[in-house]
Amino acid sequence: MILRIVFLSAFLLFSYHCLAQSTNELDAALPEPRAYIPDSQYLDFVYHDHDDLTRFLRATSARYPNLTALYSIGKSIQGRDLWVMVVSSSPYEHMIGKPDVKYVGNIHGNEPVGRELLLHLIQYFVTSYNTDQYVKWLLDNTRIHIMPSMNPDGYAVSKEGACDGGQGRYNARGFDLNRNFPDYFKQNNKRGQPETDAVKDWISKIQFVLSGSLHGGALVASYPYDNTPNSSPLGVVFQTYSAAPSLTPDDDVFKHLSLVYAKNHAKMSRGVACKSATPAFENGITNGAAWYPLTGGMQDYNYVWYGCMEVTLEISCCKYPPAYELKKYWEDNQLSMIKFLAEAHRGVQGFVLDPTGTPIERASLKIKGRDVGFQTTKHGEFWRILLPGYYKLEVFAEGYAPREVEFIVVEQHPTLLNVTLTPSKRVEGTTVPFYRPLPIPQQQQHYRPISPTYSDSGIFSTISSGLNSLYSNIFG
């Protein structure tokens, strides 16, 4: 046993050195994203109403058909489309083995800075693809879905220059959309709204790996959980701003993702309070519940229900600053928005297959010791963002014997891993259920995932409501 541990330690060090070296060479060959100056003929630093936003998205899709695809996931209460723009070198179809990621802006209608930055992000991507190596790599290896506005009705009644308050925050029926999702800790009795129902349907159909939700009213990257079993609306008023944290099993990953955004931001990581009466955040990040607990938040829903790592990005102290400040906000956030998306390429990724090479859809996976699981796509794909270390992957699928596979993750180099499951029949009537293997049927058509192919033989071959709303109206 001791000999195995010594050998394993040496093996991990050697593997880390080799892969880190290759990663450093890749980083050296891939320069940082370049600064972007918009062409005012197509997009200037001004606020765009829904008609202007729609025209820009349609024109961009027509101008760059090989890099963009425009679709609507539904309509707001007042009939405005909830537009999503895909930006990728394969915009109209999922790229096998390559992750889908997303940004959602303007979930609170009176917080439109993110709405405008996402339009500029789209413009930056399409105009830089042929000249910026980092952008080209990102779009060639990632499918990026950008929803500039989840609450166009709220935005329509918001007022430029209003740094605080709630006018336009809610949808047309007066619901806070970021309190309208199912909640992990408490039953959420608020009636579902068309905008949130559309988002829930959207993320049930696309297996997003990473997500950012852009807000305003503070300057911080806030990560799950937003809620806690012991949260109380009265606590928001009768205690200090700092409540108890509510940590996920992936707390290390969420802190890392939040730091990636904060440290690449021009100001966020300094942790400066927006106002003297508001909290400052160490390194510009916070656990959501430690800031203030809320029920029905979108980031917790993404994570618990679908395994998508979502972080809430509060990017402006003023909720609706004057338009002349938008250029400054773009300069502050440009690098952060790009680097954050690239984190989808960290951790482990691969396929779950049967012995014939056919993908197993909706297989359940879990990193041992981390209780929030995730599933495979219809192509048998999976992804999980993880920091460097040694892990065990538990894989389950109906009709197959479960498996546990060891693997390691190194810095900035995804571990590529295939897992083959054996068809079996569960044998009941014993203290510990066991699985009897079934004969493998002969099939003429074998599925083969896009190269590279991976090995699954283990670690040695796997390198690579009321008061709460009042508080929210003030801070985001």
Instruction: Indicate the angle between helix axes 326-342 and 251-264, nearest 10 degrees.
Output: 140
Q: Is 195 a catalytic residue?
A: no
Q: E strands within 152-266?
A: 208-215, 218-223
- Edge-to-edge strands of the sheet including 403-409? 374-375, 364-367, 389-396, 403-409
Contacts of 470 (CB under 8 A, 6+ apart): none
Residues 6+ apart with CB under 8 A from 220: 262, 268, 281, 284, 285, 286, 291, 314
- Locate 191 and state its tokens: 């009636």
The Cα 285–Cα 223 span in angstroms is: 8
Cα separation of 62 and 202, whole Å?
Answer: 23
Q: Residues 382, 387, 22, 32: is their CA dihedral positive or negative?
A: positive
**Residues with Cβ within 8 Å of residue 72, at least 6 apart in sequence:** 81, 82, 83, 84
Distance CA 69, CA 188 (A): 34
Residue among 111, 314, 343, 381 flagged as catalytic: 314
Kindly write down the DSSP assignment for every residue of 67-98, as one continuous string: TEEEEEEEE-TTS-EEEEEEESSSTTSPPTTS
Identify the three-state secondary structure at position 100: strand
Handedness of CA 21, 22, 23, 25 (dihedral sign): positive
Name residue 435's beta-bridge partners. 426
**Edge-to-edge strand ranges of the sheet holding 348-353:** 381-384, 348-353, 415-420
Residue 207 corresponds to which tokens in the numbers above?
A: 């297996």
DSSP assignment of 136-164 equals HHHHHH-EEEEES-S-HHHHHT--TT--S
- Residues identified as active-site: 314
